[in-house]
Amino acid sequence: MTPSADLVISGCTILEPGLTFRDGATLVVRDGLIETVTGAPAPAAVRHIDARGQVALPGLINCHTHASMVAFRGLAEDLPTEEWFNDVVWPVEANLTARDVALGARLACAEMIRAGVTCFADHYFAMDEVAAAVTETGLRAHLGQAFFSSQGARGRAESLEFALRHRDGAGGRITTALAPHAPYTVTEADLAATAALAQEHGLPVHLHAAENRDQTETSLARHGVTPIDVLERTGILDTDVLIAHGTGILDRDLPVLARARGRVSVATAPRGYLKFAWPTTTPVRALREIGVPVGLATDGAASNNSLDVWEAMALTALVQKSTTGDPRWLTARQALDHAGPQSARALGLDDRVGTLAPGTRADLILVDLTGPHTQPVHDLAATLVHSARSADVRTTVVDGRVLMHERELLTVDVPAVVEELTARLPALQERGHGRRVQEYDI
Amino acid sequence: MTPSADLVISGCTILEPGLTFRDGATLVVRDGLIETVTGAPAPAAVRHIDARGQVALPGLINCHTHASMVAFRGLAEDLPTEEWFNDVVWPVEANLTARDVALGARLACAEMIRAGVTCFADHYFAMDEVAAAVTETGLRAHLGQAFFSSQGARGRAESLEFALRHRDGAGGRITTALAPHAPYTVTEADLAATAALAQEHGLPVHLHAAENRDQTETSLARHGVTPIDVLERTGILDTDVLIAHGTGILDRDLPVLARARGRVSVATAPRGYLKFAWPTTTPVRALREIGVPVGLATDGAASNNSLDVWEAMALTALVQKSTTGDPRWLTARQALDHAGPQSARALGLDDRVGTLAPGTRADLILVDLTGPHTQPVHDLAATLVHSARSADVRTTVVDGRVLMHERELLTVDVPAVVEELTARLPALQERGHGRRVQEYDI
């Protein structure tokens, strides 16, 4: 006799690989994996969720964030990039303690679970605390300890130590990367050494590059090369590299990216580009033409104001239509492709998440479409991308474990985290010391 | 002894006139009006809402929509403007019956109440049905029966009859306007006649004009004048006129608008402009410089996919920053000014709604900021505009009547409306007949 499944979800519509929808689906989850997707009646299970009227989607993936920066949400508003960094963010980050990062990470995990995010790529400081928050809250994460060359050799060494210490942590839910900050804050020698470490230890790299057009133009003026050229000549493009933003990627960079020997991917976080009034956005269409996957992201809440990947999905569609001048491009279906398969590829996790198929990890969300704002349904992909909102996610499951059910968070005590974090804010936001973790001087 | 108030809301933070926040406020509502806003303990009331941890805002105002088009949500995706009109929307609108409009309006009212919208400006067909839905659901609305010159004199006459029949309807919650469709579908003679009727009957005008840059350029090429020039020379600018979109307003139009003798206002619905890949958005900053209020809007759900004015508020801030290249412009505080006072002025309702002050109608919403995505709060305006979502609205009040409490709709039976509307969709979306209500031929 077959023992009971761990979790069965029945009666839902499911987004299957190939971006097709199937109605009346029954998902059977065992040992953290999706065992079957059928139209059969629900078998016996330890836990059964009746999901009639709901849509099962792959959990959203936040491909580039700084989770703990939720502590700075709303602190640096309506500022140009340089002032945002130099006058607010980098001064207050000089105050950060491990406890601040721990609390911020827990609050961020709560926000993401409620928004249907099941995995996030984080790039920050005191990352042991983020790994602990991931372990505790049940999310999946791709973590890297950030470093600047201004830290000397110690920064790179600690990034490596973190990556090795936490690789395959939290029962396999944590993967790691080396995390140099960006070509304008990390020297070419340091990038080259990072690339060598990545090769030696089989680690990917996650960094900011060509974030905006100014950075690219300054790099060209000062050094005669673009940030993407720097990644190539330092060997970073020979590794599996996740590039955050890339709104400053030029046409001349495309063949460079196309010939990269590593797996190159880009994370796009369009809300911040609008808010900073950057003149360009991530060239998603051009990257598609050279086969570079583009994952969805929110960046940190200090610029994006939320970790709402659902909003990033809709904005990616809208901003891509607008910037290409083509309303037919980046359809709702393509947006779902970026949200699931492409985001999973961007993090090198497409062997386990990003699509709902037997054998993949059970990272999924259930979305309620019975609200008046999502009815009637003429085109389910359009309803999901353009009418539904993150608040329509009712249930969030990672590795077969239910982290939110009927919008109730099951693994984070939000009021306790907010209370302790709020008490720490006066010290955290103090800028009278005049210090910064780094200088924005592209 | 003073009789009990009808409604008391206590313990909230309130956005007061002048865009300042006051903590620990008690609002007393009587006879549909805000009687007092104090810091005093809650007096006796028929109904008491303890709103600790919530923010009281003026109800959102949707300054331009076609509510019943929720029936077509998701039916015309990823299309250029001309195909959207000629191949889908205007053919299916040839099928519209009064019952379809009635059901669509009820679904739209439900969506808006849940999104914190307390008033909407509607411009559509079979508007008696929309007026009935407004009466029944308890919203406030500014209604106009749309007409094209292709309908002959009958269209204009019916628009007038509607406006006179429903003026001050629903206990004063309904105001009305004459509603010619647009300068490219209504002749100059018809616009001039409309302007004369507006003057004769003391009615405002609500129409589309200079919707996009193509319309303006075609008007210049064909007639040597812009759509705004047409409004001036037909006398429309001598009336109180609400212009939808105006993304095709040119610099040369600004002095024309500035010298208008009527109260000119513009409604901006930025999501659709991105989705249609229009090259420009509403010139909010230039309009501000000449004193023209710009209200927030969603347009219909066939283009915008929702009636989420909260999203329009955030997108207006983001898109204005992006298109002007200035991250300091259209701050969160300015976005709240567009959402409240400017939207009320746009509809000529600033004598009664748009700010929360004693003597104004009690049209307000309560927003919960305890969620992880809205904590911590460094800047309350930024939290509201950039972190909060329409789903954070817990309670919606119009004219002192609670239409939604703790997200439960009290005046619309959504499942019944959806069931009947869904059954009608096959007939509604039939396009084999080859008819259209109008031709998009700018």
Residue of B nearest to A305 (CA): B387
pLDDT at A2: 67
Return the domain boundaries, chain B: 5-58+355-409, 60-347
Question: Are A45 and A224 in contact, with CB atoms under 8 Å apart?
Answer: no
Task: Say whether residue A100 is in contact with chain B using an 8 A CB cutoff.
Answer: no
Check pLDDT > 80 for residue B2. no
CA-based nearest distance A130→chain B, Å: 17
Residue of B nearest to A319 (CA): B274
- Per CB-CB distance under 8 Å, the chain A contacts of B52 are none
Interface confidence: ipTM more than 0.95? yes
Tell me whether domains A5-58+355-409 and A60-347 share a fold. no
- Per CB-CB distance under 8 Å, the chain B contacts of A329 are 78
Check pLDDT > 90 for residue B195. yes
> Between chains, do B376 and A421 touch, taking CB under 8 Å as contact?
yes
- Per CB-CB distance under 8 Å, the chain B contacts of A322 are 273-274, 277-278
Residue A69 banded pLDDT, cuts 50, 70, 90: very high
Reported pTM: 0.98
Q: What is the pLDDT of residues B227-257, one digit of tens each?
A: 999 999 999 999 999 999 999 999 999 999 9
Residue B271 corresponds to which tokens in the numbers above?
Answer: 């999501």
Check pLDDT > 90 for residue A70. yes
> Between chains, do B277 and A327 touch, taking CB under 8 Å as contact?
yes
Q: What is the pLDDT of residues A100-157, one digit of tens each?
A: 999 999 999 999 999 999 999 999 999 999 999 999 999 999 999 999 999 999 999 9
Question: Are A438 and A94 in contact, with CB atoms under 8 Å apart?
Answer: no
Task: Say whether residue B197 is in contact with chain A using an 8 A CB cutoff.
Answer: no
Check pLDDT > 90 for residue A442. no
pLDDT at A1: 53
Q: Which fold has domain A5-58+355-409?
A: Urease, subunit C; domain 1 (2.30.40)
Please, what is the angle between helix A188-201 and helix A153-166, to 10°?
Answer: 20
Distance CA B298, CA B63 (A): 8
Sign for the CA dihedral angle at B244, A281, B277, A308 comes to negative
Q: What is the pLDDT of residues B295-304, one digit of tens each?
A: 999 999 999 9
What does pLDDT average to over chain A? 97
Interface of B with A in 249-288 (CB under 8 A): 271, 273-279
Average pLDDT (A66-80) is: 97
Task: Say whether residue B378 is in contact with chain A using an 8 A CB cutoff.
Answer: yes
Residue B357 banded pLDDT, cuts 50, 70, 90: very high
Average pLDDT (B258-278) is: 98
Select from B416, B324, B409, B336 the least CA-distant residue to B18.
Answer: B336
Classify residue A221 as exposed, middle or buried by CB count within 10 Å of its CB (0-12, 13-18, 19+). Answer: exposed
Residue A283's CB is within 10 A of a number of other CB atoms, namely 25
> Between chains, do A390 and B389 touch, taking CB under 8 Å as contact?
yes
Average pLDDT (B74-99) is: 96
Q: What is the pLDDT of residues A25-37, one digit of tens each?
A: 999 999 999 999 9
CA-based nearest distance A215→chain B, Å: 16
Residue B208 corresponds to which tokens in the numbers above?
Answer: 């589309």
Closest CB from A77, A305, A332 relative to B331: A77
Interface of A with B in 30-69 (CB under 8 A): none
Select from A223, A233, A228 the least CA-distant residue to A211.
Answer: A228
Check pLDDT > 60 for residue B341. yes
Residue B225 corresponds to which tokens in the numbers above?
Answer: 């004048």
> Between chains, do B72 and A415 touch, taking CB under 8 Å as contact?
no
Closest CB from B306, B372, B418 relative to A376: B418
pLDDT at A47: 96
Check pLDDT > 70 for residue B392. yes
Bridge partners of residue A48, in order along the sequence: A8
> Between chains, do B382 and A275 touch, taking CB under 8 Å as contact?
no
As a whole-number percent, the residues of chain A with pLDDT over 90 amount to 98
For B433, residues 6+ apart whose C-beta sits below 8 A from its C-beta are B91, B94, B95
pLDDT at B334: 98
> Between chains, do B387 and A305 touch, taking CB under 8 Å as contact?
yes
- Per CB-CB distance under 8 Å, the chain B contacts of A389 are 308, 389-391
pLDDT at B1: 53
- Per CB-CB distance under 8 Å, the chain B contacts of A81 are 327
**What CATH code is assigned to B60-347?**
3.20.20.140
Residue A48 banded pLDDT, cuts 50, 70, 90: very high
Amino acid at A170: A
Task: Say whether residue A425 is in contact with chain B using an 8 A CB cutoff.
Answer: yes
Distance CA B180, CA B164 (A): 15
pLDDT at B123: 98
Residue B441 banded pLDDT, cuts 50, 70, 90: confident
Residue A252 corresponds to which tokens in the numbers above?
Answer: 């001349």
As a whole-number percent, the residues of chain B with pLDDT over 90 amount to 98
pLDDT at A213: 97
- Per CB-CB distance under 8 Å, the chain A contacts of B418 are 370, 372, 375-376
Task: Say whether residue A427 is in contact with chain B using an 8 A CB cutoff.
Answer: no
> Between chains, do A429 and B307 touch, taking CB under 8 Å as contact?
no
Average pLDDT (A365-370) is: 98
